């Protein structure tokens, strides 16, 4: 039987593993004892790669001069006295279900460094350029994978549809890289790679081959097993992977066609909205950490046209649909939802009707897992240059996320060579996000 259909090679960013590789790597890893989770909380992190504008989302400045205010108006939200940009009408209606943190700041204006800082809680030890895909520290998802491990036969860390720039495991090892589920869930006949049998092999035929293989192996490898033949170990992982793809829970988790039409419409019938729906299905069956990677937010030009078009609407409707759906299903309190990028955008509009990189102020959306509803935390100055009230850092964000997930953010981990590494250096919980 061909085995390549069970494999997903490492991405150029250092990234995802197929199930067979994942299972094998986990068994080879020397893992620390796993703490019992007294309050199991899962996480969906929506990553807005490129740096979304705080002005054109959750922190508009209608009273600022036109060269700062921009051409978009503001709209009321479901929270009295709170207004968002007109570009996010769906989220404005759902504002009573989440909290926006308006006062996060750091000093790295480059995509590579900003990505790393906000995806790990650790600044890069050396400056890195805008195009860099770097890993100097384990990402949030990889740490969750390290602490929780496989549950219900599914990896602890998944990302849709591609790995983020700094979403890798670093010294935790490749077994804690994310499983990447690519493809467009909105496409007809959508299937996730490595969770389906190849088209040329029917389920019955595949299972028959597996059973025959097991019978032959039982006879053929008795002596080899005693001799510690490495191939025995390989077949163990291969068999687990086949068992996974043949299991109904795994198939159903990825079968988005099982959702009713109204639910799919709620998220928006597009690739981004349906990935957010798939993320909900994954946490629903017990995947602890899912990243939805939605890039393209580096709006140096034509920002206002973009914010009125399909690009922003995909995020707006999909994000609002995700929060609303989790709430309706009683899953919001057991699921932390966050949406962020690497930084905000410059106050002054440039000559190309865009905004440039600006780490002085950025927004983060939080929902679920005990986060108060309908809140606004912190503020920027009247022109939106800098965080000015209840100022928080990327370390504070990381500490808060880990606390919500039941992980000690200040624990000391060890590299393969035994070097101690503090998970988060400093930082404090964002007190307003704890009810």
- Whole-number pLDDT of residue 326: 98
- Whole-number pLDDT of residue 9: 29
Domain covering 4-29+37-433, topology: Alkaline Phosphatase, subunit A (3.40.720)
Task: Show the tokens assigned to 46.
Answer: 């929506």
- Whole-number pLDDT of residue 22: 54
80 alpha carbon, distance to own chain's centre: 30
∠ CA 44-45-50, nearest 5°, is 155
Please give the C-alpha separations between residue 191 and each of 186, 240, 290, 292, 427, in angstroms, as whole numbers. Answer: 10, 20, 18, 17, 41
Asked if 339 and 48 count as a contact pair (C-beta separation under 8 A), the reply is: yes
- Whole-number pLDDT of residue 154: 78
- The tens place of each residue's pLDDT in the chain, 435 residues long, gives 333 323 322 333 344 555 555 555 555 443 433 333 345 799 999 999 999 999 999 999 999 999 999 999 999 999 999 999 999 999 999 999 999 999 999 999 999 999 999 999 999 999 998 988 999 999 999 999 999 987 666 789 999 999 999 999 999 998 899 988 899 999 998 887 665 544 544 555 555 555 555 554 554 444 444 334 444 444 544 544 555 555 566 678 889 999 999 999 999 999 999 999 999 999 998 899 999 999 999 999 999 999 999 999 999 999 999 999 999 999 999 999 999 999 999 999 999 999 999 999 999 999 999 999 999 999 999 999 999 999 999 999 999 999 999 999 999 999 989 999 999 999 999 999 997
- Whole-number pLDDT of residue 189: 86
Of 105, 282, 91, the residue nearest 181 (C-alpha): 282
Task: Show the tokens assigned to 365.
Answer: 């959306």
Which pairing describes strands 42-47 and 335-340: parallel, antiparallel, or unpaired? parallel
419 vs 429: CA distance, rounded Å: 26
Q: By three-state DSSP, how is residue 401 classified?
A: helix
- Whole-number pLDDT of residue 345: 98
Asked if 268 and 314 count as a contact pair (C-beta separation under 8 A), the reply is: yes
422 vs 137: CA distance, rounded Å: 10
Beta bridge partners of residue 412, listed in sequence order: 422
- Whole-number pLDDT of residue 252: 80
398 vs 140: CA distance, rounded Å: 8
Phi and psi at residue 111, to the nearest 5°: -60, -45
pTM, two decimal places? 0.84
Please give the C-alpha separations between residue 397 and each of 359, 366, 424, in angstroms, as whole numbers. Answer: 15, 11, 10
Taking phi over 0 as left and psi of -120 to 50 as alpha, with beta for the rest, 412 belongs to beta
Residue 434 CB partners (closer than 8 Å, separation 6+): 370, 371, 403
**H-run or E-run covering 421:** strand 420-422
Domain boundaries, the chain: 4-29+37-433
């Amino acid at each position: 039987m061909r085995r390549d259909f069970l494999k997903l090679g490492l991405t150029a960013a250092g990234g995802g593993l197929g199930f067979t590789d994942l299972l094998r790597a986990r068994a080879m890893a020397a893992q620390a004892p796993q703490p019992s989770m007294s309050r199991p909380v899962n996480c969906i992190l929506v990553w807005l790669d490129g740096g979304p504008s705080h002005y054109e989302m959750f922190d508009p400045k209608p009273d600022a001069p036109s060269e700062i205010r921009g051409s978009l108006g503001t709209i009321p939200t479901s929270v009295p006295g709170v207004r968002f940009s007109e570009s996010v009408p769906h989220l404005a209606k759902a504002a009573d279900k989440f909290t926006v943190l308006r006062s996060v700041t750091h000093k790295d204006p480059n995509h590579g460094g900003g990505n790393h800082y906000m995806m790990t809680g650790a600044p890069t030890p050396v400056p890195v350029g805008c195009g860099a895909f770097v890993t100097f520290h384990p990402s949030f998802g990889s740490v969750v994978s390290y602490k929780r491990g496989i549950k219900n036969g599914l990896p602890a860390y998944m990302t849709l549809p591609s790995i983020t720039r700094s979403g890798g495991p670093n010294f935790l090892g490749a077994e804690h890289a994310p499983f990447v589920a690519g493809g467009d869930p909105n496409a007809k006949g959508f299937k996730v790679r490595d969770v389906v049998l190849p088209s040329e092999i029917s389920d019955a035929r595949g299972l028959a081959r597996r059973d025959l293989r097991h019978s032959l192996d039982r006879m053929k490898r008795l002596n080899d097993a005693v001799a510690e033949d490495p191939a025995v170990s390989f077949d163990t992982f291969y068999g687990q992977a086949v068992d996974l793809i043949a299991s109904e829970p795994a198939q159903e988790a990825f079968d988005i066609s099982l959702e009713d039409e109204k639910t799919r419409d709620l998220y928006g019938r597009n690739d981004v909205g349906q990935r957010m729906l798939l993320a909900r299905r994954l946490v629903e069956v017990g995947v602890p950490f899912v990243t939805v990677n939605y890039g393209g937010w580096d709006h140096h030009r034509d920002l206002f046209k973009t914010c009125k078009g399909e690009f922003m609407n995909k995020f707006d409707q999909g994000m609002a649909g995700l929060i609303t759906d989790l709430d309706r299903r009683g899953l919001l309190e057991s699921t932390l939802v966050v949406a962020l990028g690497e930084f905000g955008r410059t106050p002054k509009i440039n000559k190309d009707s865009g905004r440039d990189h600006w780490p002085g102020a950025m927004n983060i959306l939080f929902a679920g897992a005990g986060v108060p509803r309908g809140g606004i935390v912190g503020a920027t100055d009247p022109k939106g240059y800098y965080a000015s009230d209840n100022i928080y850092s990327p370390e504070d964000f990381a500490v808060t996320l880990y606390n919500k997930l039941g992980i000690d953010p200040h624990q000391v981990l060890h590299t393969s060579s035994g070097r101690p590494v503090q998970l988060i250096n400093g930082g404090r919980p964002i007190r307003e996000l704890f009810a």
